[in-house]
Chain A
């Protein structure tokens, strides 16, 4: 996917996205990071054809995204939204089966391909035993997996996730991210996800896009673009960037005063 000089705004005065141009590498996992209100989710919305850009074009498989039919888009890309609502008595299986809607007419009975896709999605998300359970009985982590299953059932080559780890505790956060990573690798999906946690973005993406004030400020491999300076310039937070054998590259936020008074100051000062 490619976007060319895309701008987007709700109001005339404030532009949420300004003249954005970038390429989403195919078959890789791309993470979008940036402070609140930087336009991360808006960018995802434009990529997913939920928002029509006010100017510029989004190219999907060589064709302008706006020229696709809604149903065709739904066969090419699936989206897991940040906040989802559904009736509590809806069962896992029923909700996940909605993912077949782009592939069949409304009143046409299920085909073999529909059942296979559903089985595959439930298997991937480890929900086979819970298929008859209503959503109200699931844990937060399970519920998020159901929404992922819904997207997987669409069987699209592209998968978008808007902050897939919010509302989850750390166990489910990593469970979810591991699952997304595994799926992406096994089925060579193009995954684009908005993440808040920079460390998670570093660990779970091949390609990183950093946004600020509606513009892309940095783009590239996580190891290359994450530095104390770049994080400071994007978020305005002082961090220490470390790399260890066991953990890979990671950042830790630090308070400025603390650093100054710290004995470690001299060791790190060059980095900050």
Chain B
């Protein structure tokens, strides 16, 4: 793949994912139990006179926005094993101190940081290898998910709230959720773009980065903190969705190359597209029954991981 060819393909890929995201957005907003057409929707949103549109604005729009931001944040975070840790801590807080519900992003962040630390320290063996990282990530994920699920058997009043935090049904999302995820998510995405030059050097070996004057461990912690913020925000509001952080970056790298300045925005768009499509499919496929987006993602993600392992692509950190 030539450099010129790569930029051309990047442009096409960006155009494609942008177009698809716009299409998915329209499809998602317009389809469901309440049907309106586009002119009605736009008119209703502006004038506020259409009752159906008002319901869509209150119920469907927040869900769509949350889904897109979750997808973008998770894809950009791209660090696995974190989302589960975030889920565990946030639901610990919900069960023990329900009043702290509002502070969930913060606690989810701490939990995410803890899980991240765990995954990194357990995978560290004179350097990080993607395969080991993924396997340790899955193990940590399984542990935290197990711990999380044990809360479900307590039979307390918190069960319904717990379920909200562990499965990613995007229904019942409010504009308050939108406010939180847009705020924290945007901060995370901007920070991710700011650290992208560091990421480009971090993909070289540690010793090379160090000989270029970089404080490798400090930079790695800073970059991980951004990843944790993103994953934690998405998980606290959107619930646990596995594999987005593995699947999207991998495909994105194939399409637009490894320059993080391009890779990060592209992954954000592709992640938003993926989750939006998964959520919209989930609520329209067997309506009125809803399939959570997390289940759809697991069904897609599992085979994808096996495919990657078979291809051996995760063995050498490209």
Q: Is the CB of B203 within 8 A of A86?
A: yes
- List chain B residues, Cβ under 8 A from A241: none
Q: Are B213 and A134 in contact (CB under 8 A)?
A: no
Point out the residues of chain B lying under 8 angstroms from A106, CB to CB.
Answer: 197-198
Query: Is the CB of B176 closer than 8 A to any CB of chain A?
Result: no
User: Are B204 and A86 in contact, with the CB atoms below 8 A?
Assistant: yes
Whether B212 contacts A101 by the Cβ 8 Å rule is yes
The yes or no answer to B50 lying at the interface (CB within 8 A) is no
A89 touches B6 (CB 8 A): yes
Contacts A81-B207, A88-B318, A134-B3 given: A70-B257 contact, CB under 8 Å?
no
B46 at the interface (CB under 8 A from A): no
B residues less than 8 Å from A137 (CB atoms): 2
Q: If the complex has contacts A134-B6, A136-B1, are A87 and B198 also in contact, measured as CB distance less than 8 A?
A: no
Task: Chain B residues near A70: list those with CB within 8 A.
Answer: 210, 213-215
User: Interface code B184-213, partner A: CB below 8 Å = 1, 0 otherwise?
Assistant: 000000000010011011011101101111
Cβ of A107 < 8 Å from any Cβ of B?
yes
CA distance A49 to B259 in the complex (A): 28
In whole angstroms, how far apart are the Cα atoms of A205 and B67 in the complex?
A: 63
Which one of A73, A101, A132, A134 contacts B1 once the chains associate, using CB atoms below 8 Å? A134
- Chain A residues with Cβ below 8 Å from B212 are 74, 98-99, 101-102, 154
In the docked arrangement, what's the CA distance between A136 and B274, Å? 30
Q: Is B258 an interface residue (CB 8 A)?
A: yes
Knowing that A85-B316, A89-B258, A101-B213 are A-B contacts, what are 14 other residue pairs whose CB atoms are under 8 Å apart, sorted by A's residue number?
A50-B211, A72-B213, A79-B211, A81-B205, A85-B317, A86-B203, A87-B203, A89-B6, A89-B257, A90-B258, A98-B212, A101-B214, A106-B197, A134-B3
Chain B: residues with CB nearer than 8 A to chain A? 1-4, 6, 194, 197-198, 200-201, 203-205, 207-208, 210-215, 257-259, 316-318
A-B contact pairs, 30 of them (CB 8 A): A48-B211, A49-B210, A50-B207, A70-B210, A70-B213, A71-B213, A75-B213, A77-B211, A79-B207, A79-B208, A79-B211, A81-B207, A85-B204, A85-B316, A87-B257, A87-B258, A87-B318, A89-B1, A89-B6, A89-B259, A98-B200, A101-B201, A101-B212, A102-B213, A132-B4, A133-B3, A134-B1, A134-B2, A136-B1, A137-B2
